[in-house]
A and B are shown apart, each in its own frame.
Chain A
Amino acid sequence: MTIQAPPAARAGPAGTGRAGPGLAGTGALTKLAFRRDRIMLPTWVYLITVMVGTNAYTFRKLYSTAAARAQLVVSGGGNPALRFLYGQLNGSSVGALTAWRIGVWAALFCALMTIFIVIRHTRGDEEAGRLELVGSAVVGRQAALTAGLLTAVTASVAVAALLGVVLSALGLPVSGSVVFALAIGANGLAFTGIAAVAAQLASGARGARGIAFGVLGAAFMLRAIGDSAGPSGPSWLTWTSPLGWVELTRPFDGQRRWVLALPCAVLAAGVGAAYALAARRDLGAGLLPDRPGRASASGLLRGPLSLAFRLQRGVLAGWAAGVAFIFAASGAAAKGIGQLLGSSTALQREFTRLGGQTAITNAYLAALMVLAGLGAAGYATSAVLRLRAEETDGLAEPLLATAAGRIRWGLSHVAVAVFGAAVLLAVAGLAAGLGYGLRAGSAGPQAARMIGAAMAQLPASLVIAGVAVALVGLLPGACVAGAWTVLGVVVFIDLFGEALQLSHWLLDISPFTHAPRLPGGTVSAAPLLWLCLAALAFSAVGLAALRRRDIG
């Protein structure tokens, strides 16, 4: 046996120049990250920009006069529930209204974007074992973290740049537009730092995302409590939240540019802490230990159905919490919605169109229920697509090699989807009913009424889930993209279809066109029955196809 001389070690990786040994290979990894995110990253940036841009456009169009805006400032800025959702209203220009209505939420989405990016390229790759392969090449131990950070920072900067240009182009003051865009981008920077630390703490990507989302949720709550508190309450809480800093920069009225330094400081602190932690831990290890679980299965874990529930319960709980929170606040905002919209007949028309009736409070609540139905459809789609994920992850194979048949396996995740959609709608109705009822002084009756209104959307939501089942059975390779596209088209039709005056048969594509508009509208059994039958038919086709095709 001859021993080969090792290939001559390269003096240093090309392209990293002055980088220290811990950062070797960062350039190549960053390029790889951009290549892997070439679809996702522009999509995020585009969606956030469109979200803010359409709001600015709508406010300019619907509240063109100073008088109309002044009234909105009084009724909207004075409504604690709206302050809870959107924050303090500073100023009365179109820019100020835009920043109030969408600033916190755009910042929230920007934070979500950076959390996903950072954790995907650090802990996610580490858990999947890809970093092990990469780490054995000429790559420093801090390179992957640095590449993830650079990608997230670039994305935040892109959001800020594009947003600044778009808002200026829409006619908002340039200086305000730039400060507002920077505030949103800077929030992405803050959560880049937070996600970097989270990726060091947990040993799995899910756990790391959980920590980062937890911080984001806490940031939202601190800001929301501070904003809705009023002058005598703990309004200082807004200052403790990165999401609060967006409104505290006051981009369109008495700018405080120095507030932009706060999120940058969080980024710096987070990145410093993450590097320090990364240098002290092993590859694959987290600082928070994995808790041991049960050594044997409880009696509850018996078959495909209980397994499907076990696998999906965490996600459903997360959705339920989010839905409860958003719909409670949105429901609470229903009181006084009439005054709020009083000034703008155009906006009133928007609500009465989506809500399908003229009594403005009912129209608003009914519009909320359509949104709840779309949310439930989104959840149900993701729950059904779990079937395909289990299949491609190789987890269907050991299961189907047992006496559990394909139909039973397919039905188990469909059952989770149906159950989850029903739970989410009930939670949305209950939360909206309580939120509105507690302020209107009739919590019990309102809750009961709104639960009924929400459940009326269930058949329409299940049609979307049924289409997903059919796609999983018939077109396994394209089912993920296909199912989300279907949902996207339906959302588009419901939110913009009538405003764009699409033809009737196009509107009829959406199952929600056929669902009753409750509360306030009339209910007839026939459309609900047809929706249920359609959902059943799609699911039956999908399951039949699933039984006939190759698995894996």
Chain B
Amino acid sequence: MTNAIEVRALRKSFGRTRALDGLDLFVRTGEVHAFLGPNGAGKTTTIRILLGLLRNDGGEASLLGGDPWRDAVRLHARLAYVPGDVTLWPSLTGGEIIDLLARLRGAGSVIDPKRKDALIERFALDPAKKARAYSKGNRQKVALIAALASDAELLLFDEPTAGLDPLMEAAFRDCVNSERHDGRTVLLSSHILAEAEALSDRVTIIRDGRAAETGTLAEMRHLTRTTVEAELAGPVSLDGLPGVHAVDIQGTRLHCEADHAALNDLLVRLTAAGVRSLECRPPTLEELFLRHYSAERTGPGARA
């Protein structure tokens, strides 16, 4: 078996709202796969169908070679899940919940106490506190530790770093990278492009319930243009420069988007004109979507 997750033409509606509209998603065994999309694109619905919590209206989904709805219990013994909005039983402590979730995963699944303690320390969690006293970030940590300390072969993370501070985000990235070396499969849903860039082998971008793009990050470089804004000393012309897009020059102010390969040539022209201030930033996912897909829909003449 080469695919841990295979989803074909998946459809799901809630009343009149169409959450998934023919989604395809293939996650290879042993890879970290990022599942990217803006809020409301259908990421959580997909994961809930994969967990057998929701029933699909059409299409096929298979998880670790089984049917996520019919074989839910058998499959769940082999996976661990971190929901996007972690709620915990308020009267239980974090430590109790970590142990409980491990035990619920079944007799075959064991939690290594040393590994658990190391993770608790890594994420700086106080396991003796009642869950009602935890902040959102701390609740997220409880679910992450429970998943990472397990020996599950598939990890499903739904926006796992929402609520974590940058330090804990780094800890999470380290952990996922070491999972990759252990040969575990990870599906990571996110709306943060940088997170996907830092962690994943392959990416699927979902929009309006369909897969808009899928491939390795190298294949998707065209999505990761850098936005450049500059205040120049004199006039500049970017005519005939390949890989520079959406050029907007207002007097000495410049706004454009550049492919990675074109950055050097662009900067040579800008320094020739004299740079007073310069700002370069990677585009947000929303910007990408706005540019890439609304342009596609409304035709080449439209400017997003």
Would you give the shortest CB distance from B251 to chain A, in whole angstroms?
Answer: 17
For the complex, give the distance between the alpha carbons of A402 and B105 in Å.
5
Would you give the shortest CB distance from B263 to chain A, in whole angstroms?
Answer: 22
| Known contacts A290-B133, A311-B91, A403-B77; is-contact A297 B85 (Cβ 8 Å) | no
Q: Does A397 contact B (CB under 8 A)?
A: yes
Q: Does B93 contact A (CB under 8 A)?
A: yes
For the complex, give the distance between the alpha carbons of A213 and B85 in Å.
33
For the complex, give the distance between the alpha carbons of A293 and B105 in Å.
23
A396-455: which have CB < 8 Å to B? 397-406
Would you give the shortest CB distance from A413 to chain B, in whole angstroms?
Answer: 13
Interface string of A517-552 (1 = CB under 8 A from B): 000000000000000000000000000000011111
Of A33-41, A90-98, A167-175, A301-309, the segment with at least 4 beta carbons within 8 Å of chain B is A301-309
| Known contacts A204-B90, A290-B133, A397-B83; is-contact A295 B127 (Cβ 8 Å) | yes
Q: Does A350 contact B (CB under 8 A)?
A: no
Q: Does A310 contact B (CB under 8 A)?
A: yes
Inter-chain contact A403/B104, CB cutoff 8 Å? yes
In this complex, the interface size class of chain B, counting residues with CB under 8 Å from chain A, is 35 or more
Q: Which residues of B contact A393 (CB under 8 A)?
A: 87
| Known contacts A290-B133, A403-B77; is-contact A297 B55 (Cβ 8 Å) | no
Q: Name the residue on B nearest A306 (C-beta).
A: B100
Q: Does A10 contact B (CB under 8 A)?
A: no
Interface string of A303-326 (1 = CB under 8 A from B): 110010011001000000000000
Would you give the shortest CB distance from B102 to chain A, in whole angstroms?
Answer: 9
Q: Which of A293, A298, A403, A549 contacts B130 (CB 8 A)?
A: A293
Q: Which residues of B contact A142 (CB under 8 A)?
A: none
Q: Which residues of A contact B79 (CB under 8 A)?
A: 401
A281-304: which have CB < 8 Å to B? 290, 292-298, 301-304
Q: Does A395 contact B (CB under 8 A)?
A: yes
Q: Does A394 contact B (CB under 8 A)?
A: yes
Inter-chain contact A296/B96, CB cutoff 8 Å? yes
Inter-chain contact B93/A400, CB cutoff 8 Å? no
Q: Does A125 contact B (CB under 8 A)?
A: no
Q: Which of B74, B93, B143 contacts A293 (CB 8 A)?
A: B93
Would you give the shortest CB distance from A412 to chain B, in whole angstroms?
Answer: 11
Inter-chain contact A552/B48, CB cutoff 8 Å? yes
Q: Name the residue on A nearest B75 (C-beta).
A: A403
Inter-chain contact A401/B76, CB cutoff 8 Å? yes
Interface centre among A303, A398, A399, A406 (most CB of B within 10 A): A398
Q: Which residues of A contact B132 (CB under 8 A)?
A: 127, 204, 290
Q: Does B212 contact A (CB under 8 A)?
A: no
Interface string of A60-87 (1 = CB under 8 A from B): 0000000000000000000000000000
For the complex, give the distance between the alpha carbons of A204 and B93 in Å.
15
Would you give the shortest CB distance from B254 to chain A, in whole angstroms?
Answer: 16
B43-78: which have CB < 8 Å to A? 48, 51-55, 72-74, 76-77
Q: Which residues of B contact A398 (CB under 8 A)?
A: 81, 83, 86, 101, 143
Q: Name the residue on A nearest B107 (C-beta).
A: A403
Q: Name the residue on A nearest B93 (C-beta).
A: A293
Q: Which residues of B contact A549 (CB under 8 A)?
A: 55
Inter-chain contact B99/A297, CB cutoff 8 Å? yes
Q: Which residues of A contact B51 (CB under 8 A)?
A: 397, 400-401
Q: Which residues of B contact A146 (CB under 8 A)?
A: none
Q: Does A203 contact B (CB under 8 A)?
A: yes
Q: Which residues of A contact B55 (CB under 8 A)?
A: 548-550
Interface string of B17-58 (1 = CB under 8 A from A): 000000000000000000000000000000010011111000
For the complex, give the distance between the alpha carbons of A293 and B91 in Å.
9
Q: Does B95 contact A (CB under 8 A)?
A: yes
Q: Which of B53, B74, B129 contacts A401 (CB 8 A)?
A: B53
Inter-chain contact B130/A401, CB cutoff 8 Å? no
Q: Which residues of B contact A401 (CB under 8 A)?
A: 51, 53, 76, 79-81, 83, 156
For the complex, give the distance between the alpha carbons of A303 and B55 in Å.
25
For the complex, give the distance between the alpha carbons of A257 and B128 in Å.
53
Inter-chain contact A292/B143, CB cutoff 8 Å? no
Interface centre among A297, A302, A314 (most CB of B within 10 A): A297
Q: Which residues of B contact A293 (CB under 8 A)?
A: 92-93, 95-96, 128-130
Inter-chain contact B85/A394, CB cutoff 8 Å? yes
Inter-chain contact A297/B53, CB cutoff 8 Å? no
Q: Does B106 contact A (CB under 8 A)?
A: yes
| Known contacts A294-B95, A395-B89; is-contact A405 B73 (Cβ 8 Å) | yes
Inter-chain contact B105/A403, CB cutoff 8 Å? yes
For the complex, give the distance between the alpha carbons of A397 and B87 in Å.
9
Q: Name the residue on B nearest A127 (C-beta).
A: B132
For the complex, give the distance between the alpha carbons of A314 and B86 in Å.
24
Q: Which of A301, A399, A548 contacts B99 (CB 8 A)?
A: A301
Would you give the shortest CB distance from B53 to chain A, in whole angstroms?
Answer: 4
For the complex, give the distance between the alpha carbons of A290 and B90 in Å.
12
Q: Does B88 contact A (CB under 8 A)?
A: yes
Q: Which of A127, A403, A550 contacts B106 (CB 8 A)?
A: A403
Q: Which residues of B contact A399 (CB under 8 A)?
A: 104
Interface centre among A204, A293, A404 (most CB of B within 10 A): A293
Inter-chain contact B129/A296, CB cutoff 8 Å? no
Inter-chain contact A294/B76, CB cutoff 8 Å? no
For the complex, give the distance between the alpha carbons of A528 and B190 in Å.
56
For the complex, give the distance between the alpha carbons of A203 and B91 in Å.
13
For the complex, give the distance between the alpha carbons of A34 and B73 in Å.
46
Inter-chain contact B95/A295, CB cutoff 8 Å? yes
For the complex, give the distance between the alpha carbons of A393 and B103 in Å.
22
Q: Which of B80, B86, B128 contacts A294 (CB 8 A)?
A: B128
Inter-chain contact A400/B87, CB cutoff 8 Å? no
Q: Which residues of A contact B72 (CB under 8 A)?
A: 400, 405-406
Would you give the shortest CB distance from A93 to chain B, in whole angstroms?
Answer: 50
Interface string of B131-142 (1 = CB under 8 A from A): 011000000000
Would you give the shortest CB distance from B43 to chain A, in whole angstroms?
Answer: 15
A-B contact pairs, 26 of them (CB 8 A): A292-B126, A293-B96, A294-B93, A294-B95, A295-B128, A297-B98, A301-B96, A301-B99, A304-B104, A310-B91, A314-B91, A401-B53, A401-B79, A401-B81, A401-B156, A402-B76, A402-B77, A403-B73, A403-B77, A403-B104, A403-B109, A550-B53, A550-B55, A551-B53, A551-B54, A552-B54
- Going nearest first, the 10 A-B pairs with the smallest beta carbon separation are A297-B99, A402-B104, A403-B106, A293-B93, A401-B81, A394-B87, A297-B96, A403-B77, A292-B128, A295-B95
Q: Which residues of B contact A (CB under 8 A)?
A: 48, 51-55, 72-74, 76-77, 79-81, 83, 85-93, 95-101, 103-106, 109, 126-130, 132-133, 143, 156
